[in-house]
Amino acid sequence: MAEIAVFGGMGEVGSYVVEALRALGYHPAIIGRQPRPEVANYQRADLFDARRVEEICASHDMVINAAGPAAVIRDHVARIALLKGVPYVDVGGEEDVFTSLAERQGQASSPCVLGAGFVPGFSSLLAYLVRKKMQRVDKFELYVGGIEVFTPTSAKDFLASLSQRESYSGCGVVGGRITRIATREGVAPIPGAPVFSALPYLSAEHQRVARSLSFDHYRAYNLIADKHLVLADQGDPSGRLNALVAASEALTSQHGTQQYCVVHARGWLADQPVRFELNCRFDNGYRLTGWVAAVTADQLIRRSRRQRPSLCWLSEAVEIESLLEQLSQANLFRHWEMSLTPDEEVVFEEGVL
């Protein structure tokens, strides 16, 4: 059995990576910063201590990074794993980090997968699922988000994502061009769910997916229960962080934890217009992220060396339907409904979900 090290294995996401790996039959080493003598198979390490990270990489067959914030960790672990020739999976992933690692790619050919989580990662994989179901996709809409408590680390990553230079708030791809689009109010992701504000957000990942699949009409929305989550205390970073965590705690206390992925797409199959609908609910985004990373690592380990990708994003590393099957078997989804039906209205309508 392969030896796997999980950096940040005691954290909110990392603990679920460990849970998933154990369910898959592995005995992962848990890597953390603080002394934890009561935890089995635990190793202490500072992620910024290059020599210590090298030691851990050299003694394991696979490294998964679940430590954060991603904007702080960046490629500190990834570049060492790449140099040591150790397969690497990261729950996060930023475009400039990918670019930095690509410059080092010639030094090693081991797999290095970024964006192996919920967002980034799983949510954007759904566009590839739609493309497999249709001959041509004319319109694609993705709604992601819900209600869940932010940890200080996840809050930092969320706020950092909103300020990325490559991302466009309030925009989508319309006619192949980045265009301003409107916020949608009163969006209920599935019957019986609370209503949300759907804020257009075209991340660098969304742009890459739209280009890769040649989608000329691609809109992605963040489902936000309270817009104050993204507007409060904008002039004070620490105050905004604390307000975000506090507001998420209050919302979760009132409504309970709930996360959604909703897809609406229109296109063609066998020269007939069709409509694709996906409505998904799950209760823990951190757990879904951990399982996506663990299943990705498991799929890489089971492949021959020739079949393994080198530096890539999640969409190039996993088979989406196989990933969905494993996530479903782990009972991660409370609600999953997918359909492909004839489309009586060929013109894509603006409006309610």
**CA angle centred on 66, ends 64 and 67, rounded to 5°:** 125
**CB under 8 Å to 345, separation ≥6 — which residues?**
none
Report if residue 352 sits inside a domain: no
Other Cβ atoms less than 10 A from the Cβ of 61: the count is 14
Same domain, residue pair 86 and 132: no
* Alpha carbon separation from 338 to 16, 119, 262, 265, 287 (Å, rounded): 26, 20, 10, 12, 22
Same domain, residue pair 176 and 203: yes
Please give the pLDDT value at position 172. 97
Query: Among 14, 83, 15, which residue's Cα sits nearest to residue 53?
Result: 83
Cα(297)–Cα(290) distance, integer angstroms: 11
**CB under 8 Å to 266, separation ≥6 — which residues?**
137, 138, 139, 273, 274, 275, 276, 343, 346, 348
Strands 311-313 and 42-44: unpaired
Cα(259)–Cα(249) distance, integer angstroms: 15
Number of structural domains (the chain) is 2
Query: Among 181, 186, 246, which residue's Cα sits nearest to residue 219?
Result: 181
- The residue range of the domain holding 169 is 122-283+332-342
What is the pTM assigned to this prediction? Answer: 0.92
Question: Would you state the structure tokens that stand for residue 166, as one six-digit string?
Answer: 């490559």
Same domain, residue pair 338 and 214: yes
CB-facing half-sphere around the CA of 242: CA atoms within 13 A: 6
Same domain, residue pair 90 and 130: no
Report if residue 155 sits inside a domain: yes
Same domain, residue pair 250 and 137: yes
What CATH number does residue 134 fall under?
3.30.360
The residue to which tokens 């742009």 are assigned: 207
Same domain, residue pair 189 and 276: yes
* Alpha carbon separation from 261 to 114, 138, 142, 159, 251 (Å, rounded): 20, 20, 7, 20, 19
> Is the CA virtual torsion 83, 88, 91, 95 positive or negative?
positive
Cα(281)–Cα(82) distance, integer angstroms: 36
Report if residue 348 sits inside a domain: no
Helices (H) and strands (E) in the chain, counts: 13, 17
Please give the pLDDT value at position 165. 66
Other Cβ atoms less than 10 A from the Cβ of 323: the count is 22
Other Cβ atoms less than 10 A from the Cβ of 325: the count is 12
Cα(184)–Cα(281) distance, integer angstroms: 20
Q: What is the pLDDT along the chain (353 residues), one digit of tens a residue?
A: 899 999 999 999 999 999 999 999 999 999 999 999 999 999 999 999 999 999 999 999 999 999 988 878 889 999 999 889 999 999 998 888 888 888 876 655 688 999 999 998 999 999 999 999 999 999 999 999 999 999 888 888 887 776 666 788 899 999 999 999 999 999 999 988 999 999 999 998 999 999 999 999 999 999 998 876 666 545 566 777 888 888 899 999 999 999 999 999 999 999 999 999 999 999 999 999 999 999 999 999 988 776 777 889 999 999 899 999 999 999 999 999 999 999 987 554 555 45
Report if residue 65 sits inside a domain: yes
Residue 285 sits at φ, ψ, to 5 deg, of: -65, -30
Please give the pLDDT value at position 179. 97
Cα(317)–Cα(88) distance, integer angstroms: 11
Please give the pLDDT value at position 94. 82
**CB under 8 Å to 233, separation ≥6 — which residues?**
239, 240, 242, 243
Read off the DSSP letter of residue 189.
Answer: S
Question: Would you state the structure tokens that stand for residue 49, as one six-digit string?
Answer: 């201590």
What CATH number does residue 308 fall under?
3.40.50.720
